[in-house]
Amino acid sequence: MAKSNEELKTIATQVRRDILRMVCLAKSGHPGGSMSSTDILTALYFNVMKHDPATWTREGKGQDMFILSAGHMTPVYYSLLARTGYFPVSELASFRQMGTRLQGHPSVRKNLPGVFQASGSLGQGLSAAAGIALGKRLDKEDNFVYCLCGDGESEEGQIWEAGMFAVFHKLDNLIAMTDWNGKQIDGPLEEVSGIGDLSAKWEAWGWNVIVADGHDFDSILKAFELAKAGKGSGKPTMILFKTEMGHGVDFMAGTHKYHGSVPKPEQLEDALKQLGETPLGDF
């Protein structure tokens, strides 16, 4: 059942709490991008994707599939997989610990339900998603493949190889998303790579391009509706979600400092207070 925007907001708050508690327990991880993409992925997993944790298999027959190309965003990914019922929420406490199924970057070698493909070496997930889209078309399935890329990740040449491939093969069952938070580990994008106007670039590549506010559920859900309506157009869709790294906690917001490092214990307390508790409860 689709959630209301108010319910989605509550879930997103809980997911951000999960992210912060996971990385602080592990004393490592990537909270910044996880928090910028929280609202997008909350909408995707709760309201947009056709998926069923109870009957999940890695082949994803008859279901929508999701590939996390920006593999370092595991905190948000695992939280959403747990919160949608792929595995117990309590397991989030094992993130990055020895023997865990919740590896630092997604692994398919630990039998963790919900994870279709390993990722983490950047730039590769969009190609895998394109291959899945081809496979689903061969199987005459009408499901979608979703893929989340980072804006910094888009500096990888393979992203643009995949972009060309998806257009050439008319993969209109592929919906890619970019978490356009403008930050990467070494600083703002314009100071690291000068990747420039992603919207103009994807349009030039021949994709349907949608730009949306990645922290506004009306905007997010409308973007997904538009993207799904692109089926039949013969073109893949790229949704560029304008977001803020570290969104939701004042000292983390808008800075690259928490891309790959975690708050100190006293900062965690402050961050959780800012987010507030939810009826869903912590893991």
Partner 1 sequence: MKKYTDTGKKDTRSGFGAGLLEAGKANPNVVALTADLKGSLKMDAFAAEFPERFFQCGIAEANMVGAAAGLALTGKIPFLGSFAEFVTGRVYDQIRQEVCYGCTNVKIASSHAGITLGEDGATHQTMEDIALMRALPDMVVINPCDYNQTRQATLAVAKYMGPVYLRFGRPSVPNFTDENEPFVIGKAIVMNEGKDVTLIATGHTVWESLQAAEALEAEGISAEVIDIATIKPLDEEAIVASAAKTGCVVVAEEHNAFGGLGDAVAAVLAAKKPTPVEFVNGGDRFGQSGTPSALMAAYGLDAPHIAEAAKKAIARK
CA 160 to chain centre: 19
Shortest spacing between CB 43 and partner 1, in angstroms: 24
Using the minimum distance from each CB to partner 1, give the nearer residue, 120 or 246.
120
CB of 154 to partner 1, least distance (A): 14
Please identify, using beta-carbon distances, which residue of 115 and 220 lies nearer to partner 1: 115
- For residue 13, what are the CA distances in angstroms to 114, 217, 275, 276, 279? 22, 13, 6, 8, 10
36 binds partner 1 (CB under 8 A): no
Q: Are 67 and 117 in contact (CB under 8 A)?
A: yes
Closest to partner 1 by CB, 89 or 122: 122
**CA-based nearest residue to 109, from 174, 63, 172, 58:** 58
The interface region with partner 1, picked from 158-166, 182-190, 235-243, 250-258 by CB under 8 A, is 158-166
Report the C-alpha gap between 240 and 206 in whole angstroms.
15
* Contact status, residue 30 vs residue 260, Cβ threshold 8 Å: yes
Q: Where are the beta strands (DSSP E) in 100-161?
A: 145-150
Q: Which stretch binds partner 1 (CB under 8 A): 87-95, 161-169, 185-193, 270-278?
A: 161-169
**Residue 272 Cβ vs partner 1, minimum distance, rounded to whole Å:** 34
Determine if 168 is a binding residue for partner 1 (CB under 8 A): yes
Give the Cα separation of 246 and 24 in Å (integer).
Answer: 14
In the complex with partner 1, the residue whose CB is nearer, 147 or 275, is 147
Rounded CA-CA distance 245/42 in Å is 16
In the complex with partner 1, the residue whose CB is nearer, 4 or 168, is: 168
Least distance from C-beta 106 to partner 1, angstroms? Answer: 10
What is the phi/psi pair of residue 80, to 5°?
-70, -35
Helix, strand, coil share of the chain (percent; to 5): 45, 10, 45
Q: Which is nearer to partner 1, 165 or 251 (CB)?
A: 165
Site for partner 1 in 193-252 (CB under 8 A): none
Binding mask 98-137 for partner 1 (x = CB under 8 A): ---------xxx------xxxxxx-xxxxxxxxxxxxxx-
Which helix or strand (DSSP H or E) is residue 208 part of?
strand 208-213
**Complex with partner 1: residue 146 or 217, whichever CB lies closer:** 146
* Cβ atoms of 275 and 13 closer than 8 Å: yes
Residues binding partner 1 (CB under 8 A)? 58-61, 65, 67, 107-109, 116-121, 123-136, 138-139, 157-158, 161-162, 164-165, 168-169
